[in-house]
Structure 1
Amino acid sequence: MLRRRHKKSREGCLECKRRHVKCDERRPTCLLCTMSHRDCSFASETKDKDPPATLGSSSSSSPSPVQVQTQALEIINLDHMQLLIHLISDSDILSLGDARESYHAGILLALRTGLQSPYLLYQLLAFSACHLQYLHPERSAHYLHQAMTLQTQAISLFNVEKVHVDRSNCASICLFSVVLGHHLFADTMSQREPEGLNAFLKRYTLCLETHRGILTVTMAAWPLLMETELAPVLLRSRSFTSQEGRGNDCNQIKNLVGGSAHLDDGEKKACTQAIRNLQVGFDALSTAGEENMRYQMLFLWNVLVPPEFTDLLAAKRPEGLIILAYYALLLHQGRHIWQVGGAGRYVLGMIEEDLDPGWDRWLQYPRERCGCGGS
């Protein structure tokens, strides 16, 4: 399958530069600022703050949301119909291996909601193209182009609307955030680049920042979302993620974090939260009564990790990388899921190569469970 090449962000927004995270450089508002509701501006913008043109436009003023929606809707074609049919008919796209019996109800809800919010429809089609790219590697370039184009249109529509969360659009924004998060998750896990761990961590920490935006959106709109059809799904997810871990898969890394002289109290707390969620994920894999949530932590872990833990990964701190190795084991358990594939062993292998041999004993458990033996 064709892989996107990693490019450094040289024209990123001022906010992303201040936070030392990779900006996707989308205008008028980049993806990270969109998802985290931060003010977004670029150094190249004029001093008089004229509104920037939308992506792909040569005009010096921004079109209205109605104009952008009209321009976008005019280019719908038979390729989009194929993506729509695929979205409706293939329950593997968003299921993460779970709860397939409710898939069609969820997709129909998303499509109905998207009629009022075209940015959601475009993101759904973009993710359908991403799945077809996986299924048909012989047409990878075609579907990759569709996925990138449709996602750009979705984000452009969302940005131009300057969406403020209220009762009328909270479901649309929540669904858009989740589908966008799944798309970035699939992209991140599929990449294989010669730069190894450094390139992966740059891409993955961007993914974590975006996923954290999903949590921000959901929590900010929680009372409103409880009045929508999404309420049962969200309550079930919250019940799952609020559990305490019962197994002992993570005991070794608990000891590592608890006894570390290199982590401050805030970093230890962030690591402990990440480890707790990992154990909930391992427990779900081994608990027959929770088969409909068995693999959900593969995605939700990225939503729930604290920003302090992301900082540890960005700095390649050994404790953070070892916890990430346990997440790689969780990924390996879901290797049959198309968004995941061989990402678990790939990430674990990069961590093994990067860490000093003195840390090897802390990697023994995920290495053995991934079938890597004592290598």
Structure 2
Amino acid sequence: MSLKRPDRAAYYCDLAAKLQASALTGYWETLKKIDSTNCLDIFIFSHLLALCIFWETFSLPGADLGTLLERLVGCIRLLRGIDVVLQSWFECLVQTDLGPIITQSQILTTAENVSQDECRGLREMLSQADLSASSIQTCQESIDALQKYLDYENSVDFPSASTHQAFSWLITTSEDFTNLLDLRRPEALVILAHYATLLHRRRGSWVIRDAGYQVLFHIHGYLGRRWDQWLTFPYDVITGGTPHPSQDSCASPAVTQ
């Protein structure tokens, strides 16, 4: 509503914050006693909560990379909590009204799709990375998962405004990889910049909008031109060009239209 009625945006955002705080009080208590009668309610509420927090992450003014990552990492950990609910109560959830959607989602994400190997450059980057063996393995696993989601997105005939599958990589990425993001490891940030292309495809959603653009330009501004060669793919997808210096990396251009 704050987007539909910008003249009353402050009122709606304040109201949303109060309602969310009130709802969370009951939510934390309910999480202590999940069973077959409430697992669907908890799953749906968790998803709605994650959408709201993701929107807040990219809508609050004055964000730099540090602030953005802090918000995003928090969002990732919340999204991962949704996956825990889904996996723990999967057999129960597929018996609910949401069952056909969950089952279809599983089929789509596990199907073999033709790959354009967009992550080829990321694998080359890792072969030259100054990282521990365990960190390289962590990044490699995240890249492999990201490629699968890119393959799925390429199988969709047209850009969608749906958030369905848009956050799947964030939900399933490991805690070790999240920690690398938290530490601002350049290799992890470049991988995140490639994920931004998935967000850009779903920019028609009120939740996502220019999030992909923000992620890419904050990362480029932080890493500098030395990492330009590894950011060519996301730049090409999101801006139609190659990385270039920007004095105002947060300015949202017409590519979000």
* Correspondence for 1:352: 220
* Correspondence for 2:153: 285
Alpha-carbon RMSD across the aligned residues, in angstroms, is 2.4
The equivalences for 1:24-35 within 5 A come to: none
The equivalences for 1:117-266 within 5 A come to: 132-161=1-30, 163-194=32-63, 196-243=64-111, 246-265=115-134
Could you list the runs of 5+ residues in structure 1 that have no partner in the other structure?
A: 1-131
Amino acid corresponding to residue 100 of structure 2 in structure 1: P
Of residues 133, 136, 152 in structure 2, which corresponds to 1:268? Answer: 136
Of all paired residues, the percent bearing the same amino acid is 29
Residues 270-279 or 359-368, more deviating: 270-279
In 1, distance between residues paired with 2:156 and 2:222?
37
Is residue 339 of structure 1 aligned with residue 207 of structure 2? yes
Q: Is the 8 A contact 2:162 2:205 kept in 1?
A: no
Q: Report the Cα offset of residue 161 of structure 1.
A: 4.2
Q: Report the Cα offset of residue 304 of structure 1.
A: 1.3
In 2, distance between residues paired with 1:138 and 1:228?
40
* Correspondence for 2:231: 363
Q: Is the 8 A contact 1:318 1:355 kept in 2?
A: yes
Q: Is the 8 A contact 2:70 2:182 kept in 1?
A: yes
Amino acid corresponding to residue 165 of structure 1 in structure 2: I
The C-alpha deviation readout for 1:279-338, integer Å capped at 9, x for no partner, is: 233333332469889863322222111111110110000010001111122222222221
Q: Is the 8 A contact 1:281 1:294 kept in 2?
A: no
* Correspondence for 2:249: none
In 2, distance between residues paired with 1:327 and 1:136?
31
Could you say if the C-alpha distance between residues 290 and 214 of structure 1 is closer, same or farther in structure 2, counting changes exceeding 3 Å?
farther
In 2, distance between residues paired with 1:321 and 1:315?
10
Amino acid corresponding to residue 9 of structure 2 in structure 1: S
Q: Report the Cα offset of residue 148 of structure 1.
A: 0.6
Amino acid corresponding to residue 89 of structure 2 in structure 1: A
In 1, distance between residues paired with 2:125 and 2:186?
10
In 1, distance between residues paired with 2:112 and 2:55?
27
Q: Report the Cα offset of residue 191 of structure 1.
A: 2.9
TM-score for both structures, normalised by structure 2: 0.84
Could you list the runs of 5+ residues in structure 2 that have no partner in the other structure?
A: 245-257
Q: Is the 8 A contact 1:271 1:309 kept in 2?
A: yes
TM-score for both structures, normalised by structure 1: 0.59
Amino acid corresponding to residue 200 of structure 1 in structure 2: L
Structure label with greater radius of gyration: 1
Aligned residue pairs, count: 242
* Correspondence for 1:104: none
Q: Is the 8 A contact 2:126 2:187 kept in 1?
A: yes
In 1, distance between residues paired with 2:80 and 2:116?
26
Amino acid corresponding to residue 333 of structure 1 in structure 2: R
In 1, distance between residues paired with 2:216 and 2:9?
27
In 2, distance between residues paired with 1:247 and 1:295?
22
* Correspondence for 1:311: 179
The equivalences for 1:47-66 within 5 A come to: none
